[in-house]
Amino acid sequence: MNPSKLTLVMAALLVCSQAFSQEIEDKRGIVAKNAELVKVQDGFEFTEGPAVNRFGDVFFTDQPNNRIHKWNAISNEVSVFKEDAGRSNGMYFMLDGTLVAAADNKNELWAFDTDGNHTIWIKAFKGKKLNGPNDLWVRPKGGIYFTDPLYVRPYWEDREKESEQAGQNVYFLSADKTELFTVAEDLTQPNGIVGTPDGKFLYVSDIGAKKTYKYEMREDGYLINKTLFCELGSDGMTIDDRGNVYLTGDGVTVFNRNGDQIAHIPVPAKWTANVVFGALDRKTLFITAMDAVYTLQMKNRGVW
């Protein structure tokens, strides 16, 4: 990017913190007292994929503009981390600082180092293009689960608009990246995904069926004992230290570990795409919604 273009981009992305006093439904007191939703910045096209590093900074994507941005948890400033980001969607940080991204420009899984240099970890499955990796979660013991729904993108130029795979599935990539296999093949359109920090349970949203399921994770990565968690689908998802699960779409809807709705956080946008806990204490809920990103102070902490 040339300097003049970068100046225009950053001018359009000036921090514009603005509080919203919409009523938050909170049955269990998970939101900090008197907290309000704050718009950190707007001027994007469609924000997605928030991922938190060990310093509490949140990296998120503006997928139509093919950029990854960084929110500094201390200064509250947003900067451009990576141009030409492979149309990254969902992202997640590994313990060594590697940022893994579902890059659906060519239906791949990418990994970025701290300087923004990328390597391609997955290009295909059984010799055929994936539908478009969408969201992912890194298991504490190693290995990556990711969803692969089919959303036809206007920027696809070198592929057919129909799936080369047999379905829209969930995959597992082993920690040493030598094995890639399907772990859920009976979903309509899997999207959001998140696991528990003990590595025992995985939540997968079937947004096409408007449901979210809970699985047990086996040591080898396979999923067993699928159960219905709640009658609501989700785009992105996160989890807090009490086991509450945060789903997105119409704002943020929170369910306890039993699948009972305990909170709803309205967001002034047509669609809320994703959510994660940021800041060093993991008590700042960071929300990506259409052309803007928001924060909300919480009592509960996120897990990482």
**pLDDT tens, residue by residue, 238-259:** 999 999 999 999 999 999 999 9
Contact indicator for 153, 104 with CB cutoff of 8 Å: yes
pTM of the prediction?
0.92
More confident residue, 220 or 13: 220
* Single-letter code of the amino acid located at 165: Q
Is position 204 within any domain? yes
By residue range, what is the domain housing residue 145?
A: 3-297
Is the pLDDT reported for residue 12 higher than 80? no
Is the pLDDT reported for residue 52 higher than 70? yes
Contact indicator for 228, 211 with CB cutoff of 8 Å: yes
Q: Which pLDDT value is given to residue 7?
A: 38
Please provide the average confidence, as pLDDT, over all residues in the chain. Answer: 92
Is position 153 within any domain? yes
CA distance linking residue 15 with residue 12, whole number of Å? 9
Looking at the structure of the chain, the number of domains it has is 1
Is position 302 within any domain? no
For residue 125, what are the β-bridge partners? 128
Lowest mean pLDDT among 157-161, 183-187, 194-198, 297-301: 157-161
Is position 32 within any domain? yes
Q: Where residue 262 sits, what CATH number does that domain have? A: 2.120.10.30
